[in-house]
Structure 1
């Protein structure tokens, strides 16, 4: 066991090291196990030492959300298409959330408002604006994609915890009465079960297609009122 150190005696301890240790602790033992005392023990320091790097427990929790967001920060899209950039971000974000399922409740409940998270958003908005989105619509795009991904990850996590398969146990739906539920029965028999990942891809592509229509509309030249009535 590492020797106990008084406040300020841990050489080289940084905010990033504190957040990484906090994330590892939550991954291993769950959110309920995270406290300043338990994290200090994890790092081999007194709990008070941590306040040199995170101001309080809320700042620590916000930092854990930051760790997830920054790890999959939306790329600047100039080197790619905006659709490819958002698609890659959505898949990377989903993978990161599923790799840290104990942090998902924090991502759901805490806005990503640390300075680093805000810089990530600023960069993404700049790229989307360069791709033709008005800045307010670009923010809608970011919120829509992140909300969709978080919701999907939360659903998959709950299903896994309850023992359900990722394809939502379609074998039960295949047994529905075809006379009472003809459309559901026909849909389930028309093709193999899509699975959660395929449904994610389908919905994501539908969203991107809708965003494209918004972007195209935003790029159309404005007409004066008399011209618009013709």
Structure 2
């Protein structure tokens, strides 16, 4: 049998090509026309598999966010659950930074995202957090993660030592920060997350005390 003249399409191949476009050109660079051209087919061929560009983006979003881990809550340790969720959430967002605006817009109608949100909220409430506090905690973790995934402290400095020499005596080594940016970003996020969780620990202890659930 001869090779087919038209490439064989699947939802997986469409999403893979779409993500490659987003990775190189950003969300604004993705269109059904450009996607069809990359796959070597007519635009009409895409619509046999997907109905809209948003449908493609939602499927890509689900695939990227599938690595976000909320299984830590199963051990009934809300702090460990939050830490695992936050770290895996940040890693997922950083894996495809051009998708970040789409992924952080909220769970929307993506069932997998809603299941994760439900798991986090339910675990916090089951642990004794009031529902409103559980909502605030979930929102706060999102703020921490999205901020950490969006920017880099160390990458904001220049490699040229002369820019800092003499004028900024406390930043004389700033030009070296870019070479260890990933390490600094990781440690800084860990410091921020630990400080936030320590604050929650203190607040949680207060809740338990008011509820008469403290030792002794």
Task: List 4+ stretches of structure 1 deviating above 6 A.
Answer: none
Larger RCO: Structure 1 or Structure 2 (Cα < 8 Å, ≥ 6 residues apart)?
Answer: 1
- What stretches of structure 2 of length at least 5 have no aligned partner? 178-182
- Residue aligning to 1:228: none
- Residue aligning to 2:81: 85
Contact 2:90/2:146 (8 A) holds in 1: yes
1:14-25 to 2 correspondence within 5 Å?
Answer: 14=11, 18-25=14-21
- Residue aligning to 2:22: 26
1:94-105 to 2 correspondence within 5 Å?
Answer: 94-105=90-101
Give RMSD over aligned pairs: 3.7
How many pairs does the alignment contain?
Answer: 199
Question: Are residues 1:150 and 2:139 paired?
Answer: no
- What stretches of structure 1 of length at least 5 have no aligned partner? 178-184, 224-230
SS state at 1:72 partner: coil
- Residue aligning to 1:133: 129
Larger displacement relative to structure 2 (93-102 or 214-223): 214-223
The 1:215/1:32 distance shift into structure 2, 3 A limit, reads same
Contact 2:72/2:80 (8 A) holds in 1: no
What do the CA deviations read for 1:116-138 (whole angstroms, capped 9, x no partner)? 21112112222222222223322
- Residue aligning to 2:189: 200
Contact 2:76/2:127 (8 A) holds in 1: no
Contact 2:164/2:172 (8 A) holds in 1: no
Contact 2:93/2:100 (8 A) holds in 1: yes
TM-score normalised by structure 2 residue count: 0.70
The 1:176/1:164 distance shift into structure 2, 3 A limit, reads closer
